[in-house]
Structure 1
Amino acid sequence: MANQFNQDVTAAKLQKVQAALDVIKTELGPLLISLTPDERKSMLRMGDKTVAFVQKTTDYATTNPGFVPAFVSLDELKQDAAGLAALAPILRQLEQLSLDTDSTLMVAGSEAYTNALTIYNYIKFQANNHQQGAQAAFDDLKSRFAAQGQRKAKPSAAK
Protein backbone atom coordinates (compact mmCIF):
# COMPACT_ATOMS: atom_id res chain seq x y z
CA MET A 1 0.00 0.00 0.00
CA ALA A 2 1.32 3.42 -0.93
CA ASN A 3 2.01 5.99 1.73
CA GLN A 4 -1.08 8.22 1.75
CA PHE A 5 -0.18 10.54 4.61
CA ASN A 6 3.01 12.42 3.85
CA GLN A 7 2.53 15.91 5.27
CA ASP A 8 4.37 17.75 7.98
CA VAL A 9 1.94 19.12 10.55
CA THR A 10 3.80 22.25 11.58
CA ALA A 11 3.42 24.09 14.86
CA ALA A 12 2.51 27.25 12.92
CA LYS A 13 -0.31 25.42 11.08
CA LEU A 14 -1.60 23.94 14.33
CA GLN A 15 -1.59 27.38 15.99
CA LYS A 16 -3.62 28.85 13.13
CA VAL A 17 -6.13 26.00 13.26
CA GLN A 18 -6.42 26.25 17.05
CA ALA A 19 -6.98 30.00 16.80
CA ALA A 20 -9.73 29.42 14.22
CA LEU A 21 -11.34 26.79 16.45
CA ASP A 22 -11.15 29.19 19.39
CA VAL A 23 -13.03 31.81 17.34
CA ILE A 24 -15.68 29.25 16.40
CA LYS A 25 -16.06 28.18 20.02
CA THR A 26 -16.24 31.79 21.21
CA GLU A 27 -18.86 32.70 18.61
CA LEU A 28 -20.99 29.55 18.85
CA GLY A 29 -20.50 28.85 22.55
CA PRO A 30 -23.24 31.15 23.84
CA LEU A 31 -25.71 29.58 21.39
CA LEU A 32 -24.93 25.96 22.21
CA ILE A 33 -26.59 23.68 24.75
CA SER A 34 -24.99 20.62 26.36
CA LEU A 35 -27.28 17.68 26.98
CA THR A 36 -26.73 14.61 29.11
CA PRO A 37 -27.04 11.20 27.42
CA ASP A 38 -30.40 10.69 29.16
CA GLU A 39 -31.66 14.06 27.94
CA ARG A 40 -30.60 13.19 24.40
CA LYS A 41 -32.44 9.85 24.58
CA SER A 42 -35.67 11.50 25.71
CA MET A 43 -35.86 14.13 22.96
CA LEU A 44 -37.68 13.93 19.65
CA ARG A 45 -35.30 13.37 16.71
CA MET A 46 -35.38 15.27 13.44
CA GLY A 47 -34.47 14.02 10.01
CA ASP A 48 -34.64 15.86 6.69
CA LYS A 49 -38.39 15.21 6.32
CA THR A 50 -39.02 16.52 9.82
CA VAL A 51 -37.07 19.71 9.13
CA ALA A 52 -39.28 20.34 6.10
CA PHE A 53 -42.38 19.56 8.21
CA VAL A 54 -41.31 22.07 10.87
CA GLN A 55 -40.65 24.76 8.24
CA LYS A 56 -44.01 24.19 6.53
CA THR A 57 -45.86 24.18 9.85
CA THR A 58 -44.11 27.42 10.82
CA ASP A 59 -45.13 28.96 7.50
CA TYR A 60 -48.79 27.89 7.97
CA ALA A 61 -48.82 29.18 11.53
CA THR A 62 -47.30 32.49 10.45
CA THR A 63 -49.83 33.10 7.68
CA ASN A 64 -52.75 31.67 9.70
CA PRO A 65 -52.30 32.62 13.38
CA GLY A 66 -55.64 30.97 14.15
CA PHE A 67 -53.92 27.58 13.64
CA VAL A 68 -51.74 28.20 16.71
CA PRO A 69 -53.09 27.03 20.07
CA ALA A 70 -52.97 29.65 22.83
CA PHE A 71 -50.38 27.67 24.81
CA VAL A 72 -47.88 27.60 21.88
CA SER A 73 -45.68 30.62 21.29
CA LEU A 74 -45.42 31.33 17.58
CA ASP A 75 -42.44 33.61 18.23
CA GLU A 76 -40.59 30.77 19.97
CA LEU A 77 -41.45 28.39 17.14
CA LYS A 78 -40.09 30.89 14.61
CA GLN A 79 -36.93 31.37 16.68
CA ASP A 80 -36.40 27.60 17.01
CA ALA A 81 -37.01 27.03 13.28
CA ALA A 82 -34.63 29.86 12.36
CA GLY A 83 -31.96 28.46 14.70
CA LEU A 84 -32.39 25.03 13.15
CA ALA A 85 -32.04 26.43 9.64
CA ALA A 86 -28.99 28.51 10.60
CA LEU A 87 -27.06 25.88 12.57
CA ALA A 88 -27.72 22.78 10.44
CA PRO A 89 -25.27 23.75 7.65
CA ILE A 90 -22.59 24.51 10.25
CA LEU A 91 -23.12 21.10 11.84
CA ARG A 92 -22.79 19.39 8.44
CA GLN A 93 -19.49 21.18 7.79
CA LEU A 94 -18.18 20.31 11.26
CA GLU A 95 -19.24 16.67 10.87
CA GLN A 96 -17.44 16.43 7.51
CA LEU A 97 -14.35 18.09 8.99
CA SER A 98 -14.48 15.70 11.94
CA LEU A 99 -14.87 12.66 9.68
CA ASP A 100 -12.00 13.78 7.42
CA THR A 101 -9.79 14.48 10.46
CA ASP A 102 -10.61 11.07 11.91
CA SER A 103 -9.90 9.39 8.55
CA THR A 104 -6.57 11.20 8.30
CA LEU A 105 -5.65 10.09 11.82
CA MET A 106 -6.63 6.55 10.90
CA VAL A 107 -4.41 6.58 7.78
CA ALA A 108 -1.45 8.21 9.55
CA GLY A 109 -1.82 5.85 12.51
CA SER A 110 -2.13 2.76 10.33
CA GLU A 111 0.92 3.72 8.30
CA ALA A 112 2.95 4.55 11.40
CA TYR A 113 1.92 1.30 13.12
CA THR A 114 2.68 -0.79 10.01
CA ASN A 115 6.16 0.71 9.76
CA ALA A 116 6.75 0.37 13.50
CA LEU A 117 5.75 -3.32 13.36
CA THR A 118 8.13 -3.87 10.44
CA ILE A 119 10.98 -2.29 12.38
CA TYR A 120 10.03 -4.22 15.54
CA ASN A 121 10.11 -7.52 13.64
CA TYR A 122 13.49 -6.61 12.17
CA ILE A 123 14.80 -5.77 15.66
CA LYS A 124 13.44 -9.13 16.85
CA PHE A 125 15.24 -10.85 13.97
CA GLN A 126 18.45 -8.99 14.85
CA ALA A 127 18.10 -9.91 18.54
CA ASN A 128 17.71 -13.58 17.60
CA ASN A 129 20.93 -13.22 15.60
CA HIS A 130 22.77 -11.55 18.49
CA GLN A 131 23.14 -8.14 16.82
CA GLN A 132 24.66 -5.71 19.29
CA GLY A 133 22.01 -3.57 21.06
CA ALA A 134 19.09 -5.37 19.44
CA GLN A 135 18.18 -7.47 22.50
CA ALA A 136 17.75 -4.41 24.75
CA ALA A 137 15.56 -2.70 22.15
CA PHE A 138 13.53 -5.89 21.64
CA ASP A 139 13.05 -6.38 25.39
CA ASP A 140 11.82 -2.80 25.69
CA LEU A 141 9.40 -3.05 22.76
CA LYS A 142 8.00 -6.53 23.33
CA SER A 143 6.07 -5.39 26.41
CA ARG A 144 3.50 -3.96 23.96
CA PHE A 145 2.51 -7.53 23.08
CA ALA A 146 2.89 -9.11 26.54
CA ALA A 147 -0.81 -9.81 27.18
CA GLN A 148 -1.54 -11.14 23.71
CA GLY A 149 -1.87 -14.87 23.30
CA GLN A 150 -2.96 -15.29 26.92
CA ARG A 151 -6.68 -15.29 26.33
CA LYS A 152 -8.90 -17.22 28.67
CA ALA A 153 -10.16 -20.52 27.38
CA LYS A 154 -13.89 -20.62 26.73
CA PRO A 155 -15.73 -22.78 29.23
CA SER A 156 -16.99 -25.93 27.53
CA ALA A 157 -20.74 -26.19 27.26
CA ALA A 158 -22.38 -28.97 29.21
CA LYS A 159 -24.07 -31.56 27.05
Structure 2
Amino acid sequence: MPFTNFENRHFSSEEKNAVNTALASLETELIPKLANLTADERKQYGSVNEQNKLIINKVKDFRDSQPNLSSPDVDWVEFMNDHDSRSYLQTTIQRLQSIIDGLTNAKILHDWDNYQASLTDYDYAKYKASTNAIGYQTKVSEIGQFFAGRPSGSSNKTTSTDTPVAE
Protein backbone atom coordinates (compact mmCIF):
# COMPACT_ATOMS: atom_id res chain seq x y z
CA MET A 1 0.00 0.00 0.00
CA PRO A 2 1.46 3.41 -0.93
CA PHE A 3 0.69 5.09 2.40
CA THR A 4 0.99 4.17 6.04
CA ASN A 5 -2.09 3.78 8.17
CA PHE A 6 -0.95 5.84 11.12
CA GLU A 7 -4.13 5.25 13.08
CA ASN A 8 -5.66 1.81 12.96
CA ARG A 9 -7.34 1.78 16.37
CA HIS A 10 -10.98 1.86 15.35
CA PHE A 11 -14.09 1.85 17.54
CA SER A 12 -16.44 -1.11 17.52
CA SER A 13 -20.17 -0.47 17.84
CA GLU A 14 -20.01 -1.68 21.42
CA GLU A 15 -17.16 0.71 22.25
CA LYS A 16 -19.01 3.63 20.66
CA ASN A 17 -22.11 2.79 22.68
CA ALA A 18 -20.09 2.51 25.91
CA VAL A 19 -18.40 5.87 25.32
CA ASN A 20 -21.70 7.53 24.42
CA THR A 21 -23.34 6.07 27.53
CA ALA A 22 -20.47 7.29 29.71
CA LEU A 23 -20.65 10.77 28.14
CA ALA A 24 -24.43 10.91 28.64
CA SER A 25 -23.94 9.96 32.28
CA LEU A 26 -21.24 12.61 32.69
CA GLU A 27 -23.45 15.23 31.07
CA THR A 28 -26.36 14.28 33.33
CA GLU A 29 -24.19 14.66 36.42
CA LEU A 30 -22.58 17.91 35.33
CA ILE A 31 -25.48 19.86 33.80
CA PRO A 32 -26.86 21.07 37.15
CA LYS A 33 -23.39 22.38 38.10
CA LEU A 34 -22.51 24.15 34.84
CA ALA A 35 -22.55 27.93 34.51
CA ASN A 36 -23.44 29.82 31.36
CA LEU A 37 -21.77 33.23 31.34
CA THR A 38 -22.26 35.88 28.70
CA ALA A 39 -19.20 37.43 27.09
CA ASP A 40 -19.67 40.50 29.31
CA GLU A 41 -19.91 38.34 32.44
CA ARG A 42 -16.75 36.48 31.45
CA LYS A 43 -14.97 39.85 31.18
CA GLN A 44 -16.46 41.07 34.45
CA TYR A 45 -15.55 38.03 36.52
CA GLY A 46 -12.53 37.09 34.44
CA SER A 47 -10.10 34.47 35.53
CA VAL A 48 -8.17 34.53 38.77
CA ASN A 49 -4.55 34.89 37.71
CA GLU A 50 -1.67 33.08 39.37
CA GLN A 51 -0.86 35.99 41.71
CA ASN A 52 -4.46 36.10 42.95
CA LYS A 53 -4.49 32.32 43.42
CA LEU A 54 -1.52 32.76 45.73
CA ILE A 55 -3.55 35.28 47.76
CA ILE A 56 -6.50 32.88 47.96
CA ASN A 57 -4.26 30.01 49.03
CA LYS A 58 -2.49 32.14 51.65
CA VAL A 59 -5.83 33.29 53.12
CA LYS A 60 -6.94 29.64 53.21
CA ASP A 61 -3.67 28.64 54.91
CA PHE A 62 -4.21 31.28 57.59
CA ARG A 63 -7.83 30.17 57.99
CA ASP A 64 -6.70 26.57 58.44
CA SER A 65 -3.84 27.33 60.82
CA GLN A 66 -5.02 30.43 62.70
CA PRO A 67 -8.78 30.83 62.31
CA ASN A 68 -8.84 33.51 65.03
CA LEU A 69 -7.18 35.88 62.51
CA SER A 70 -9.98 35.40 59.97
CA SER A 71 -12.54 38.10 59.19
CA PRO A 72 -15.95 37.46 60.71
CA ASP A 73 -17.45 39.11 57.61
CA VAL A 74 -16.51 36.17 55.38
CA ASP A 75 -18.77 33.12 55.15
CA TRP A 76 -15.97 30.63 55.77
CA VAL A 77 -18.10 27.56 55.09
CA GLU A 78 -18.91 28.99 51.66
CA PHE A 79 -15.26 30.01 51.15
CA MET A 80 -14.11 26.45 51.85
CA ASN A 81 -16.86 24.98 49.66
CA ASP A 82 -15.87 27.32 46.82
CA HIS A 83 -12.20 26.42 47.27
CA ASP A 84 -12.97 22.70 47.30
CA SER A 85 -15.22 22.97 44.22
CA ARG A 86 -12.64 25.06 42.39
CA SER A 87 -9.91 22.51 43.12
CA TYR A 88 -12.15 19.64 42.03
CA LEU A 89 -13.15 21.44 38.85
CA GLN A 90 -9.53 22.23 37.98
CA THR A 91 -8.54 18.57 38.39
CA THR A 92 -11.56 17.44 36.37
CA ILE A 93 -10.82 19.96 33.60
CA GLN A 94 -7.21 18.73 33.41
CA ARG A 95 -8.38 15.13 33.15
CA LEU A 96 -10.94 15.98 30.48
CA GLN A 97 -8.40 18.13 28.59
CA SER A 98 -6.02 15.18 28.53
CA ILE A 99 -8.78 13.04 27.01
CA ILE A 100 -9.64 15.80 24.52
CA ASP A 101 -5.98 16.13 23.52
CA GLY A 102 -5.70 12.37 22.95
CA LEU A 103 -8.95 12.27 20.96
CA THR A 104 -7.85 15.26 18.87
CA ASN A 105 -4.50 13.60 18.12
CA ALA A 106 -6.21 10.34 17.14
CA LYS A 107 -8.62 12.25 14.90
CA ILE A 108 -5.67 14.03 13.23
CA LEU A 109 -4.13 10.65 12.39
CA HIS A 110 -7.43 9.28 11.05
CA ASP A 111 -7.82 12.47 8.96
CA TRP A 112 -4.28 11.99 7.62
CA ASP A 113 -5.00 8.37 6.72
CA ASN A 114 -8.22 9.39 4.94
CA TYR A 115 -6.46 12.18 3.06
CA GLN A 116 -3.61 9.92 1.89
CA ALA A 117 -6.09 7.25 0.77
CA SER A 118 -8.09 9.95 -1.03
CA LEU A 119 -4.96 11.13 -2.87
CA THR A 120 -4.26 7.55 -3.93
CA ASP A 121 -7.83 7.18 -5.16
CA TYR A 122 -7.57 10.49 -7.02
CA ASP A 123 -4.34 9.37 -8.70
CA TYR A 124 -6.08 6.12 -9.71
CA ALA A 125 -9.02 8.07 -11.12
CA LYS A 126 -6.62 10.26 -13.13
CA TYR A 127 -4.94 7.13 -14.49
CA LYS A 128 -8.29 5.59 -15.45
CA ALA A 129 -9.43 8.88 -17.01
CA SER A 130 -6.27 8.86 -19.14
CA THR A 131 -7.40 5.50 -20.54
CA ASN A 132 -10.82 6.99 -21.34
CA ALA A 133 -12.57 4.69 -18.87
CA ILE A 134 -16.18 5.76 -18.43
CA GLY A 135 -17.02 8.02 -15.47
CA TYR A 136 -13.50 8.80 -14.35
CA GLN A 137 -13.15 12.17 -16.09
CA THR A 138 -16.13 13.49 -14.10
CA LYS A 139 -14.59 12.16 -10.87
CA VAL A 140 -11.23 13.78 -11.68
CA SER A 141 -12.90 17.09 -12.50
CA GLU A 142 -14.97 17.13 -9.33
CA ILE A 143 -12.10 16.17 -7.02
CA GLY A 144 -9.59 18.31 -8.91
CA GLN A 145 -11.47 21.51 -8.05
CA PHE A 146 -10.22 21.19 -4.45
CA PHE A 147 -6.57 21.59 -5.42
CA ALA A 148 -5.31 25.15 -5.85
CA GLY A 149 -3.01 25.94 -8.74
CA ARG A 150 -2.23 22.35 -9.67
CA PRO A 151 -2.30 21.25 -13.28
CA SER A 152 -4.71 18.35 -13.67
CA GLY A 153 -1.94 15.91 -14.57
CA SER A 154 0.49 16.71 -11.73
CA SER A 155 1.39 14.19 -9.06
CA ASN A 156 -0.47 14.71 -5.79
CA LYS A 157 2.06 13.17 -3.45
CA THR A 158 5.29 14.84 -4.46
CA THR A 159 4.42 18.50 -4.99
CA SER A 160 4.17 21.28 -2.45
CA THR A 161 0.67 22.10 -3.69
CA ASP A 162 -1.01 19.10 -2.08
CA THR A 163 -3.01 21.37 0.16
CA PRO A 164 -6.68 21.59 -0.77
CA VAL A 165 -8.19 25.03 -1.24
CA ALA A 166 -8.88 26.59 2.17
CA GLU A 167 -12.50 26.53 3.26
TM-score, with structure 1 as normaliser: 0.76
> For residues 99-118 of structure 1, what are the alpha-carbon distances to aligned partners after superposition, in whole Å with 9 as ceiling and x for unaligned?
11111111100111121022
C-alpha contact 1:127 1:138 (8 A) present in aligned 2: yes
Segment of structure 1 superposing worse, 88-97 or 4-13? 4-13
Equivalent pair of 2:7/2:106 in contact (CA under 8 Å): yes
Pick from 69, 74, 77: which aligns with 2:76? 74
Shift of 1:53: 4.0
- The residue type equivalent to 2:113 in the other structure is E
Cα shift at 1:36: 2.5
Structure 2: stretches of 5+ with no match in the other structure: 150-167
* Runs ≥4 residues deviating over 6 A: none
What amino acid maps onto 2:125 in structure 1? Answer: I
What is the Cα deviation at residue 124 of structure 1?
A: 1.8
Q: 1:87 — aligned with what?
A: 89
- Among residues 3, 16, 19, which one is paired with 1:17 in the alignment? 19
Note the aligned Cα RMSD (angstroms): 2.4
Identity %: 24
Q: Which has the higher contact order (CA 8 A, sep 6+)?
A: 2
Aligned to 1:103: 105
1:52 Cα shift?
5.1
Cα drift, residue 143 of structure 1: 4.1
> Is the Cα–Cα contact under 8 Å of residues 62 and 69 in structure 2 kept in the other structure?
no
How many residues in Structure 1 have an aligned counterpart in Structure 2?
Answer: 146
**Normalised by the size of structure 2, how large is the TM-score?**
0.73
Task: Note if 1:64 corresponds to 2:71.
Answer: no
Q: Could you list the runs of 5+ residues in structure 1 that have no partner in the other structure?
A: 150-159
* Structure with the larger helix share: 1
* In structure 1, C-alpha distance between the alignment counterparts of 2:143 and 2:46, rounded to whole Å: 50
SS class of match (2:27): helix
Counterpart secondary structure, 1:107:
helix
